[in-house]
């Protein structure tokens, strides 16, 4: 018979087979597995296999007896546990069968229940109420069932006990089922906590729509560790989570606060079209479509239309969807996004930045002074500190100097815009120079170091849109770059949230801008007419990513109901 090998250093009692290639680790296990022997043992790979001594064999046999006792004990334990599980399953099945005989009926002798949304329950404490919602959380505790109910306006702790908790529906209740509950609303006992400070002692309830359990249960479809692509596919279910819903509720409050601030500054809300035949930010990012045989686009910005409103409606703003056909997968970009834009007449560049600063700060103040939205900000971004005024104003030229002083470089590019790499395949990093388009990474790093809101202004004309007003050059300065009365508002943690500028007011200058950019002025006749029939100094801005900054979201995708980015147009 082949000898059984044991290597006390490199062997394994779990994976070993007792061969020289796969030895056991202990002599006791070898004796237990192969009581007939013979055995060869060594201390480690540097030694040679030898027969064990009689004393070692005697000790190993005792060890083998111990292993056998453990095995028997484990078998007995497994049998006992299997028996207990079977008995528990039998008891559960028996209870389920018995529960089918229990029928709940609402007690008409009790006071009539007041129907209410969960968010409006506080004044109804000590009264019998009726409400409906989705089972958000569920806990079965002996003879009590605790249900956290959600209806979009809030969360309510419901307690089912006695007969109410013994029905078949109660014993088979699942997460995300919709139910109606009726009972007495009571203040939570001292020392305990619950959402809203009250709980419902249920005396009657019914299932309105049962959600599946088992393999198709909600938690098996989606959880916090689900892959991002699965979360995107199941966005309609993600929205039921506390964080996703809080972001969207804050978004609604944010839009309301912005509107209040803008109206207080005498701006009127208008609704420009999304189907257009002109470009604002360059043709490369336009979504093109056939519009009854004519070429048309989804709007990049409503700015041009807002300008046409100034002579008749005064200062205006819109909250409109904008579209960018930019194949970007960064956490800062979407193909469709909600764009807040405004246009103001008879202002200076300083007036424009003053206005943006005021609207931002007034909106934040309004949100923090409203209990509901203040609670959402606290939930999503506990360390949020409102921005202090005045915001820092930093010229583009000074920003270039600052970046170089702090050794913040950017990737070198060739004439075609391709990144230049060294012999190891790493991007070549070079200092910034006037004329460079400051990259997002450098911009964000600068803002995070400064740790305050920054108006970055005065960008070179070649980096900006055709309609932006040029800055006057210093007396006696003829050469050098031409800068624009343009600005980006940068916030720590997120970067740019506002882009604005003064607009060209002179008709001839605008026509020259069309020509320089290779734009046919014919389709823009209505925009050019703004300079022809009574021009004025005017400017405006577009705002986005504000919610990502306020709620400290890693990506703007979290801030949209159903985000759209390259390759994603569902659900």
What is the chain's mean pLDDT, rounded? 93
pLDDT category, 474, cuts 50, 70, 90?
A: low
Among 140, 158, 265, smallest CA distance to 205 is for 158
| Residue 1: pLDDT over 80 | no
Res 571: pLDDT: 93
Res 439: pLDDT: 87
Res 530: pLDDT: 94
- Per-residue pLDDT tens for 263-277? 999 999 999 999 999
- Per-residue pLDDT tens for 499-511? 999 999 999 999 9
| Residue 460: pLDDT over 70 | yes
* Residue 521 dihedral angles phi and psi, to the nearest 5°: -75, -15
Res 143: pLDDT: 86
Give the angle 178-179-184 at the CA atoms, nearest 5°.
145
pLDDT category, 400, cuts 50, 70, 90?
A: very high
pLDDT category, 91, cuts 50, 70, 90?
A: confident
Res 142: pLDDT: 80
The stretch 186-215 carries a mean pLDDT of: 94
pLDDT higher for 223 or 433? 433
| Residue 282: pLDDT over 70 | no
Running DSSP on this structure, what letter comes out for residue 532?
H
Please spell the DSSP secondary structure of 358-424, one letter per residue: HHHHHHHHHHHHSHHHHHHHHHH-TT--PPPSSPEEEEHHHHHHHHHHTT--EE-B-TTSPBPB-TT
- Per-residue pLDDT tens for 337-355? 999 999 999 999 999 999 9
Of all residues in the chain, what percent carry a pLDDT higher than 90? Answer: 73
- Per-residue pLDDT tens for 378-394? 999 999 999 999 999 99
pLDDT category, 283, cuts 50, 70, 90?
A: low
Q: Which three-class secondary structure state does DSSP give residue 95? A: helix
**Within 13 Å and on the Cβ side, how many CA atoms surround 333?**
13
Residue 138: exposed, middle, or buried by beta-carbon count in 10 A (0-12, 13-18, 19+)? middle
| Residue 335: pLDDT over 80 | yes
Q: Scanning the structure block, which residue is given the tokens 């029939």?
A: 533
The stretch 19-47 carries a mean pLDDT of: 89
Res 36: pLDDT: 87
Contact 164, 170 (CB under 8 A): yes
Res 477: pLDDT: 55
Res 414: pLDDT: 84
Contact 437, 413 (CB under 8 A): no
Among 516, 493, 383, 394, smallest CA distance to 447 is for 493
Contact 221, 237 (CB under 8 A): yes
Q: What distances in angstroms separate CA 533 from CA 198, 308, 505, one per listed residue?
A: 64, 11, 11
pLDDT higher for 475 or 400? 400
């Amino acid at each position: 018979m082949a000898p059984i090998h044991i290597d006390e250093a490199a062997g394994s009692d779990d994976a070993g087979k007792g061969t020289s290639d796969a030895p056991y680790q202990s002599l006791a296990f070898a004796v237990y597995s192969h009581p007939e022997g013979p055995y060869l043992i060594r201390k480690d790979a540097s030694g040679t296999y030898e027969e064990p001594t009689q004393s070692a064999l005697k000790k190993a046999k005792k060890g083998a007896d111990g292993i056998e006792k453990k095995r028997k004990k484990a078998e007995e334990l497994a049998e006992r546990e299997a028996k207990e599980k079977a008995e528990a399953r039998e008891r559960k099945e028996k209870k389920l069968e018995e529960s089918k005989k229990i029928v709940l009926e609402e007690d008409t002798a009790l006071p009539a229940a007041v129907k209410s949304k969960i968010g409006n329950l506080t004044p109804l404490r000590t009264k019998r109420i009726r409400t409906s919602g989705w089972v958000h959380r569920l806990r079965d505790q002996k003879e009590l069932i605790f249900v956290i109910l959600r209806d979009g306006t809030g969360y309510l702790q419901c307690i089912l006990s006695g007969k109410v908790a013994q029905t078949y529906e109660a014993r088979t209740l699942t997460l995300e089922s919709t139910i109606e509950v009726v009972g007495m609303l009571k203040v939570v006992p001292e020392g305990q906590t619950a959402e809203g400070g009250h709980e419902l002692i249920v005396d009657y309830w019914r299932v309105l729509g049962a959600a599946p359990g088992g393999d198709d249960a909600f938690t098996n479809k989606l959880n916090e560790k689900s892959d991002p692509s699965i979360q995107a596919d199941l966005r309609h279910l993600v929205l039921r989570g506390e964080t996703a819903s809080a972001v969207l509720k804050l978004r609604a409050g944010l839009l309301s606060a912005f509107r209040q601030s803008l109206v207080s500054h005498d701006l009127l809300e208008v609704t420009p079209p999304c189907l257009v035949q002109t470009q604002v930010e360059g043709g490369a990012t336009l979504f093109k479509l056939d519009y009854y045989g004519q070429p048309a686009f989804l709007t990049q910005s409503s700015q041009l239309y807002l300008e046409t409103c100034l002579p008749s409606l005064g200062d205006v703003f819109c909250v409109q969807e904008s579209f960018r056909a930019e194949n970007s997968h960064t956490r800062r970009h979407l193909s469709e996004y909600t764009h807040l834009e405004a246009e103001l007449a008879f202002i200076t560049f300083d007036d424009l930045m003053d206005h943006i600063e005021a609207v931002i700060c007034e909106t934040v103040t309004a949100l923090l002074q409203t209990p509901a939205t203040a609670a959402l900000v606290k939930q999503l971004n506990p360390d949020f500190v409102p921005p202090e005024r005045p915001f820092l104003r930093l010229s583009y030229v000074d920003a270039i100097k600052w970046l170089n002083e702090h050794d913040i470089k950017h990737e070198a590019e060739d004439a075609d815009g391709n990144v230049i790499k060294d012999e190891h395949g790493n991007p070549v990093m070079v200092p910034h120079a006037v004329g460079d388009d400051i990259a997002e990474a450098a911009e964000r790093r600068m803002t995070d170091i400064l740790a305050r809101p920054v108006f970055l202004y005065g960008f070179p004309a070649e980096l900006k849109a055709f309609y932006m007003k040029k800055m006057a050059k210093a007396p006696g300065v003829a050469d050098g770059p031409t800068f624009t009365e343009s600005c980006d508002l940068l916030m720590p943690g997120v970067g740019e949230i506002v882009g604005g500028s003064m607009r060209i007011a002179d008709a001839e200058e605008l026509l020259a801008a069309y020509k320089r950019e290779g734009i046919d002025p014919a389709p823009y006749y209505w925009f050019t007419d703004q300079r022809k029939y009574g021009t004025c100094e005017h400017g405006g801005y577009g705002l986005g990513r504000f919610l990502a900054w306020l709620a400290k979201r890693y990506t703007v995708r979290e801030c949209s109901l159903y985000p759209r980015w390259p390759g994603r147009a569902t659900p």
